[in-house]
Amino acid sequence: MSDILTPQGEGATSAPTHLNGSFLPENSKLFWLAVWTGALTVVTLGIYRFWARTRLRRYIWSSIMPAGDSFEYTGTGLEKFLGFLIALVVLAVYLGLLQVVLSFIGFSLWGAISSKPNGPTDILMQLGATYVTGLAVLPLIFFALYRARRYMLSRTRWRGLRFSMDPAAVGYAWRALLYFGLSIVTLGALMPLATFRLEKYMTDRMWYGDASFEQEGQWTALYGAMKHLFIAVGVLLLAGVITSWGQFVGFLPILLFAGYVWLLVGFIYYQVESFKYLTAHKVLDGQVRFTSQASCERVIGIFVLGIILITILTFVLSLIFVALFLVFRALGSYGMNSGGAGAEIFGGSGLLGALVVVLGYFTSIVLIGALVTVLISAPILGHYVDTLRVKNSGQLEQIRQRAGDLMADADGFADALDVGGAF
């Protein structure tokens, strides 16, 4: 990473510096950290996952080093665990009250519904209650997403200064619910509106020290990022037309495959391009600006290559454990049939074979998780960091620390709802 000095004028010695992002992890260290924390998570039946994610996040943060100064993550596993417990209680009470309300409405309007539906009305009511319950969790998910970002910012420092975010999760939740509904009703046509407005809501409440962020730009500018999504939808609509006409049916599998692959590519393209636009229109302290040269092709390449490598390694590992299982099974059969002094030894090989299967299963889970971190998640994050540039960064020297903001349960809430990001 290097700083770029630009002449300010006659007699000036230097101008505000431009900082480039830098992501420098040790892949081997990251891999074994992911393996070790993943193994402890399995052994503790998932309880250690809060400490595992904290240790991984702490290492990832320390590998982000713009201007040679690394980020620092100060969160703890205990905070996440306590937040998780609180969230479980809140979620249980919330869903319990929801079920009571739905049951009351059902009894009041249509009478009691048996566990075995007696007619179309009962079926429709049960389906409606299921969907309502699922949709009712959305406000909590959006609430958790805001709190998760706020928590991570409050536990992140750079050059001794802490990031922070104003408390506004409730406002974000109902706005996200509104924009989510608009996107669904318009079949995705207003997705740029949702993306921009929600990001602006968060960004305008973010701080670095005593300097505030601001999200500029227009939501309509994000429609350019949707071009591949529009093409994918067009291909899928063409497939639907061919199906209804009953003509050129032989092309239908090709169109469906191309449409779904293009749709996946379109979502990735939208994420990358919208990130670039939103980043380019973020301002810190009214003067510090950012740019990103992230590449959709690079992100897709990392993902595809990672999947291929993980698939190959998983296949090889499976062959090893299958071979071990067959060996122990054969030895067990030999011991049972041969009798003699070694029968008990060989007879126990069947149990060993079962243990090999169990060990292979959990080993695969741990290794796949570690490989996903090293081969996919970390490289993609690294690409975003390495292609990030901070303009007029000399203004950062004028920023001072802001008052503290304690949030001991925020990220745990996101964990309880299974949201919160890779790191």
pTM, rounded to two decimals: 0.81
Q: Which residues pair with 163 in a beta bridge?
A: 208
Res 352 pLDDT > 90: no
Residue 225 backbone dihedrals phi, psi, to 5 degrees: -75, -10
The CA-atom distances, in angstroms, between 60 and each of 53, 98, 366, 369, 385 are 10, 40, 19, 15, 11
The length of the chain in residues reads 423
Q: What is the pLDDT of residue 323?
A: 76
- Averaged pLDDT for residues 340-351: 49
Q: From the CB of residue 120, how many other CB atoms can be counted at a distance below 10 Å?
A: 8
| Average pLDDT score, the chain | 81
DSSP per residue over 189-216, as a string?
TTHHHHHHHHHHHHHTTEEETTEEEEE-
Res 218 pLDDT > 60: yes
Which helix (H) or strand (E) is 318 found in, with range?
helix 296-338
Q: What is the pLDDT of residue 8?
A: 39
Q: Which of 151, 160, 165 shows the shortest CA–CA distance to 54?
A: 151
Q: What is the pLDDT of residue 300?
A: 94
pLDDT in tens, 91-143: 788 777 776 666 665 555 545 444 555 555 555 555 555 666 667 778 888 99
Tokens of 110: 């249509």
Q: Which residues pair with 162 in a beta bridge?
A: 157
Q: How confident is the model at residue 172 (pLDDT cuts 50, 70, 90)?
A: very high
Res 335 pLDDT > 60: no
Q: Alpha-carbon distance 204 to 155, whole Å?
A: 19
Q: Alpha-carbon distance 238 to 227, whole Å?
A: 17
Virtual CA dihedral for 64, 31, 313, 43, nearest 10 degrees? Answer: -130
Q: What is the pLDDT of residue 99?
A: 67
User: Which of 74-88, 194-208, 349-363, 390-404 has the highest mean predicted lDDT (pLDDT)?
Assistant: 194-208
**Minimum mean pLDDT range among 126-140, 178-192, 329-343, 391-405:** 329-343
Q: Alpha-carbon distance 249 to 341, whole Å?
A: 68
CB neighbour list of residue 115: distance below 8 Å, 6 or more residues apart: none
- Averaged pLDDT for residues 29-51: 92
Q: What is the pLDDT of residue 330?
A: 66
Please say whether the beta carbons of 305 and 333 come within 8 A: no
Res 36 pLDDT > 90: yes
Q: What is the pLDDT of residue 93?
A: 81
Q: What is the pLDDT of residue 411?
A: 62
- Averaged pLDDT for residues 362-391: 93
Amino acid letter for position 95: L
Q: What is the pLDDT of residue 186?
A: 92
* Tokens 């318009």 -> residue: 186
Q: Alpha-carbon distance 228 to 248, whole Å?
A: 24
Res 173 pLDDT > 90: yes
Q: What is the pLDDT of residue 131?
A: 60
CA angle at 409 for the pair 403 and 411, rounded to the nearest 5°: 95
Tokens of 400: 């001072």
Q: How confident is the model at residue 354 (pLDDT cuts 50, 70, 90)?
A: low
Q: Alpha-carbon distance 52 to 39, whole Å?
A: 10
**Minimum mean pLDDT range among 50-54, 133-137, 261-265:** 133-137
Q: What is the pLDDT of residue 10?
A: 41
Q: Alpha-carbon distance 377 to 31, whole Å?
A: 12
Better-scored residue on pLDDT, 192 or 319? 192
The CA-atom distances, in angstroms, between 40 and each of 37, 251, 416 are 5, 50, 19
Res 347 pLDDT > 70: no
Res 219 pLDDT > 80: yes
Res 222 pLDDT > 90: yes
Q: What is the pLDDT of residue 11?
A: 41
